[in-house]
Amino acid sequence: MADHDRLSPFATNENSFDRVAFLQTVASLSIYKQEALRQFERNLPNGAMILDAGIGTGIDLPALERMVGSRGRVIGVDTNQELLDVAQQLCLQENLTRVSLYDADIHDLPFPDDTFGGVRIDRALQHIVDPQRAIEESYRVLKREGTIEICDPDWELLSISHPDSQLTARIIEYKREQNIQNGHIARATPTLLQAGFNEISTIVIEDTFTSPEQVKAFLYLDKLLDDMVRMDVLTQKEADEWLKQFDQQNVGNNVLCSFTTAITVGKKQ
Ligand SMILES: C[S@@+](CC[C@H](N)C(=O)[O-])C[C@H]1O[C@@H](n2cnc3c(N)ncnc32)[C@H](O)[C@@H]1O
């Protein structure tokens, strides 16, 4: 395994990362999800059986159960047991009786061919070993004319205001190239879908943050800088100085960070 694989927190079960808190923060700060769920619903027949692959804390499950209606079903899968437990708890709390969860890998789904009316993969392709294989699996389990929806950040478009623009560019490049398994996947997805899907469309949603605390939480910046120091691509002094300057911008929340998520949908031919 390459060193950068170990640093991609959703590609491993590494313990030092609080995935639950992180996913809850991202969900509370970002706006792309509402649009992603709207797009998916628009493309689904009522009463469909749908798959959410890489559910995380299950944050989307209540909306998905509502959208399939009383005749539909929602299946959720993930490979991280801690997250599956949190999602299961959410199903109990919200009385989601039409949701079933499985410990299963997107690369090798334990479902028969032509099972689902819709499959969505929300911010998981960026972390997995073989996105093309995951798309082929999604194709296999989808019914004809079933809808696929894939959401991932476009890490090429991340920007963070900071007086030291060169060091900031190095940090962003490290995030995209080393800390995320597939930092370019948002741009590759429409092309990957061309094998087997039609009516492919992509929209992009930009989240902007103006508070350093939000940016730190959203990008897990402290951990990112620690990783860079550990990997000897940044000195501790550079990391401390960069953070100090970043925090000093906090006069009236005048940081500007923009973060773009691509939402791609298509239909199985
Ligand atoms: C960034 S999280 C997104 C979670 C959720 N979709 C959301 O939007 O909040 C990525 C999720 O993909 C899961 N994951 C990573 N590799 C996977 C795989 N091979 N099969 C299934 N799930 C996987 C992770 O455990 C994690 O829950």
Decide if 92 is inside a domain: yes
Establish if 127 belongs to a structural domain.
yes
Kindly report the number of other CB atoms within 10 A of residue 112's CB atom.
8
Q: How far is the CA of 92 from the centre of ligand 1 (A)?
A: 21
Q: What's the CATH number where 58 sits? A: 3.40.50.150
Residue 204, C-beta contacts closer than 8 angstroms, at least 6 positions apart: 154, 157, 260, 261, 262, 263
DSSP string, 51-104: EEES-TTTTTHHHHHHHH-TT-EEEEEES-HHHHHHHHHHHHHTT-TTEEEEE-
Residue 222 lies in a domain: no
In a domain, 37, yes or no: yes
Which of 64, 123, 137, 207 should be mutated for ligand 1, with most atoms under 8 A from CB?
Answer: 123
Task: Give the pLDDT score at 172.
Answer: 96
> Could you identify the residue written with the tokens 């929340």?
253
Residue 177 lies in a domain: no
Query: What pLDDT does residue 6 have?
Result: 44
pTM (2 d.p.): 0.92
In a domain, 169, yes or no: no
Ligand 1 is surrounded, with C-beta below 6 A, by 10, 23, 27, 53-56, 59, 77-80, 83, 105-107, 122-124, 127-128
What's residue 125's pLDDT? 97
Q: How far apart are CA 127 and CA 131, in angstroms?
A: 9
DSSP for residue 114: T
Q: Which of these, 80, 52, 62, 78, lies nearest to 150 by C-alpha position?
A: 52
Q: What is the pLDDT of residue 14?
A: 64
Instruction: Give the Å distance between the CA of 123 and the centre of ligand 1.
Output: 7
- In the chain, the number of structural domains is 1
Residue 153: the pLDDT is 96
Q: Which domain holds residue 39?
A: 3-154+183-207+260-268
**How far is residue 11 from each of residues 7, 53, 264, measured CA to CA in Å?**
8, 14, 22
> Would you state the pLDDT for residue 248?
81
Phi, psi of 162 (to 5 degrees): -170, 140
CA distance 41 to 35: 10
Instruction: Write down the pLDDT at residue 61.
Output: 98
Answer yes or no: is 213 within a domain: no
| pLDDT averaged per 10 residues, the chain (length 269) | 51 71 84 95 93 97 96 97 96 98 98 98 96 98 98 95 94 94 96 96 93 86 93 96 86 78 97
